[in-house]
A and B are shown apart, each in its own frame.
Chain A
Amino acid sequence: EAGVTQSPTHLIKTRGQQATLRCSPISGHTSVYWYQQALGLGLQFLLWYDEGEERNRGNFPPRFSGRQFPNYSSELNVNALELEDSALYLCASSLERGRSNEQFFGPGTRLTVL
């Protein structure tokens, strides 16, 4: 069974640009989560999508947004990129909300903002 996949593996942008990161969950999983792992800040929860709706977001500005498609894949968009947005962005999926919330992670997208 295929795991969570993310694309691209690496992404290089300049300040002020927009970045789009993509995630495909494990087949049968309906919830998708996004986390940011920045150097020195650890893993921070960004967003949770379930059944196409944003269900929860972490303490990030509105320029971090995303969506979930009918096939449960998801996009994370970061607008007006800043240098401190450079980080590893991890996507995770879980079977459904309200259960054990066992989350399985993809390999990540490393975003570098120059």
Chain B
Amino acid sequence: SQQGEEDPQALSIQEGENATMNCSYKTSINNLQWYRQNSGRGLVHLILIRSNEREKHSGRLRVTLDTSKKSSSLLITASRAADTASYFCATDEGAQKLVFGQGTRLTINP
């Protein structure tokens, strides 16, 4: 079953703008991870945020987590053409498996 639901399903912005993607989930989690996937290839791990954390940064990435609303957001600042990809959130409910959302397809226009 798909736990995370990303919003929007597709996002198209101009290079240099910021991109924000949201993820909602249904059950309690240990942590939430964001991944990037280019053109149906492997997933690149971007960032992990634990259930007791509220915000985390990595370079141009900023992730927030609101466990009361069961939601997370991924912000990419100063977007580049190379950021064009699909972005997935994945929740760890326990039992070691990750449950993925359907993803947000991000297109950066030059």
Q: Which residues of A contact B (CB under 8 A)?
A: 4, 6, 31, 33, 35, 37, 42-43, 45, 48, 50, 55-56, 58, 88, 90, 92, 94, 97, 100-108, 110
A105 B42 Cβ-Cβ under 8 A: yes
Chain A residues with Cβ under 8 A from B2's Cβ? 42
A63 to B5 Cα, complex, angstroms: 30
A106 adjacent to B97 (CB under 8 Å): no
Which residue of the partner chain, among A88, A101, A106, A107, contacts B92 with CB atoms under 8 Å?
A101
How far in angstroms is the closest Cβ of chain A from B45? 5
CB proximity of A60 to chain B, nearest CB, Å: 12
**Nearest CB to that of A105 among chain B residues?**
B43
CA distance A20 to B82 in the complex (A): 33
Q: Which of A6, A43, A45, A56 has the most CB of B within 10 A?
A: A43
Asked if B64 lies at the interface with its beta carbon under 8 angstroms from chain A, I say no
